[in-house]
A and B are shown apart, each in its own frame.
Chain A
Amino acid sequence: MEFFLVQLLNGLAYGLLLFMLSSGLTLIFSMMGVLNFAHASFYMLGAYFAYQCSKWLGFWPALVVAPLLVAGIGALVERFGLRTVHKFGHVAELLLTFGLAYVIEEIVHLVWGRAAVDYQIPEALNFTAFHILTSSYPAYRVFMMAISIAMLIGLYLGLTRTRVGLVIQASLTHPEMVEALGHNVPRVFMLVFAAGAALAGLAGVIGGNAFVTEPGMAAAVGSIVFVVVVFGGMGSLLGAFIASLLIGMVQTFSVGIDYSIGDLAGLFGAQIPEQFASITLARMAPMLPYLLMVMMLVMRPKGLMGTRET
């Protein structure tokens, strides 16, 4: 029971972090039709910028500065990269962001080295928030969840209650009409791209010290975020939310469970070869999100909440 509660909270924290990434990715995708391969790289940049800022200025300024820096980079990428290749079609846009992810990883290698950097949880948040039976729960995880939920509410209110949000929503479905009404749609695109990058950057700031800040973090999280987006249905924010939490839970729970395939087979009285029987759920953990995605694609190709087939 205790294990279950702790893992549930951890899974929630991780799932909300995933949603901060996948929401930006989903917004960008549904608006521009661009799948941003570099999205997880923005997450990584957020973590590294926060590491550098917290060395110079402290954690709290970093919480604001790092996402803004990432947003700036995102805006530049949209203005000078994506807008240039837009005329060549979606494949070129996808390739641009793919190349960018590559280059960002190499630049991180260049500037911060190949090993993980020592980006730590701030002292002010390094205490035990509460106890679940006997195990203590760190305050930083609670802080992470609070930031994520605040962002989530902010995103929702921003999209539905503000003028800018309404223009964005309108640009999703009727870009020509919005343009005809005198709004600068390319600038809206840039804004959305920058905002998505900022969200990813913020996720990096709060995720980088909770997990680990290293050059491989973009690749590790990037594929999971893609799984989330495909699983939830491309272009659906609600689907991305559900999928984020689900994948977050699956990943958190599976690493702590020692049941093996042999045990499962034993329940049904089946005998399977030792090579397979000895595989525990914990060892299968890295594979599970991808397996879920493949199963979803076989059974429901448009994803959980997706509306379009292709």
Chain B
Amino acid sequence: MSEQRSGITPWIVTIALAIALPLLFNKGFSLSLFCQMGINIIFALSYNMLLGQTGMLSFGHAVYFGLAAYFCAHALNAMGQGAFSFPVTLLPLIGGVIGLLFGVVLGYITTKRSGTPFAMISLGIGELVAAGSQMFPDFFGGEAGISTNRVVGPKALGISYGPQIQVYYLIAAWALLSAIAMYAFTKTPLGRMANAVRDNAERAQFVGYDPQRVRYLVFIVASFFAGVAGALSAINFEIVTVENVGLAASGFVLFMAFMGGTGSFYGPVIGAILVTFLQVALSGYTKAWLLYLGLFFLLMVLFAPGGIASLIELHRPAWRARQLGKLLPGYVALLVPVLIGFAGAVGLIEMIYFVETSGGGEGEMRLLGVSVDARQPTAWMVCFALVVIGVLGFRQLRPHLLRRWDDVTLALRAAETRAPSAAVPGVGT
């Protein structure tokens, strides 16, 4: 957690950005993109309470998101029929309570164990709920899901939530509130104990805290925020389907939190924005976008297990000391083989896909604006050559960057020893 720099500036910038964004990009497409990002930010942050804060790798977090979304969709429908009246603005609170209640029940079983068994049990509970959704078609709506209409309930200040822009500000407000609340949670004694349980459960036990209880409580709080996100999703999309509770959705939130970085509070925010953008932008271009996402995830696990946030943190000292410029040429040089190899790999994947879907590669195929004949070996050879060139070039240029990196680190260390304030023994490493 990044507790040293808990300045208020990033929050103010975020609030200003949230207000200004729809004014800058006011197309319908970008607005719905922002809405999805806001929902996913809450969801990913709540997921990181489990994984990043308490070390619980859950494969079933979508259960609390999805069930809350279902309950809220039914609540909206009931309001539409005049069964009761409740402001839509506060509906996410109901969603949160629903998530919390399921967290209390299912979390009790899930948090009985930690580590790998926890991961498996969370998966099992997720599958249990997903399989159970087939048993109650009245509630889950079968294949079609439950549709709803958000323009119900009392209208305060003329806000009907008909126009998407009003929904955007609802989501933005709830996302900010939830983010602040979740950030504050990391500062509470429970949030601190969660970190202790993550790092060494045995020691936490010696201090007098029951790790199982800490895990259970954090799980409940995380389920609450997942429920808030689920309610907002029901309001935003006006439909909830079985996919919302399934393993795919649980995997997606894991992707977001992990790629963004589980080691810092803002990591999942980056991940949610990035993955949502990829989902919306890439899925329009290629059917193989899930493959790209999966490969990207694998590369992150292999080479940057701290996510994007850890890469940012890695460069922060150099940035502070204004040494980043020295690294820049190395990165730019490395970018060339990476792009070449990437283009080749994308070409290969897209050609395989084209041949598979078009029935043997008939017809013309366009790749990055170039017309390609997938039946001729030329295109395949070119793409393969690009991949090979990219890999070889990367290997050739990487030592150069690493040398620069060592230079900068040494210079930073030298500067540190010269400055007396940094030389306090025993504090940090």
A residues apposed to B, CB below 8 Å:
29, 33, 35, 81, 84-85, 88, 90-92, 94-96, 98-100, 102-103, 106-107, 109-113, 219, 223, 226-227, 229-230, 234, 275, 279, 283-284, 286-287, 290-291, 293-294, 297-298, 301, 309-310
Contacts and interface: CB of A to CB of B under 8 A. Distances in A.
Nearest to B110: A297
A153 to B, nearest CB: 29
Interface string B282-301: 00000010110011011001
Nearest to B296: A99
Would you list the 3 A-B pairs with minimal beta carbon distance, nearest first? A290-B128, A106-B291, A103-B294
B57 A95 contact: yes
Band of interface residues on B: 35 or more
A298 to B, nearest CB: 6
User: Helix, strand, loop or mixed for chain A's interface?
Assistant: helix
A81 B305 CA distance: 13
Nearest to B114: A310
A223 B123 CA distance: 8
B113 A100 contact: no
B363 interface: no
A99 B124 contact: no
Contacts of A223: 123-124, 127, 247
Of B114, B117, B254, B349, most buried by chain A (CB within 10 Å of CB) is B117
B291 A107 contact: yes
Contacts of B356: 110-113
Given A290-B128, A298-B109, A230 B121 contact: yes
A291 B258 CA distance: 30
B258 A95 contact: yes
B291 A293 contact: no
B87 to A, nearest CB: 30
A106 B301 contact: no
Given A92-B305, A113-B356, 18 more contacts: A85-B302, A90-B115, A98-B59, A99-B294, A103-B291, A112-B356, A226-B120, A226-B124, A230-B124, A234-B116, A279-B135, A287-B128, A290-B125, A290-B128, A290-B131, A297-B109, A297-B112, A298-B109
A96 B115 contact: no
Given A110-B349, A219-B247, A227 B124 contact: yes
B3 interface: no
Contact of A88 (B119, B131, B305): B305
Which secondary structure dominates where chain B touches chain A? helix
B19 interface: no
Given A110-B288, A226-B124, A275-B138, A90 B305 contact: no
Contacts of B294: 99, 102-103, 106
Contacts of B114: 310
A110 B113 contact: no
A92 B290 CA distance: 20
A112 B349 CA distance: 13
A235 to B, nearest CB: 10
A94 B352 contact: no
B319 interface: no
B127 A290 contact: yes
A85 B51 CA distance: 17
B206 interface: no
A200 to B, nearest CB: 17
A95 B301 contact: yes
Contacts of A287: 128, 131-132, 135
B262 to A, nearest CB: 9
A100 B288 contact: no
A227 B123 CA distance: 9
Given A110-B352, A223-B123, A286-B131, A234 B302 contact: no
B353 interface: yes
Contacts of A113: 356-357
Contacts of B353: 110
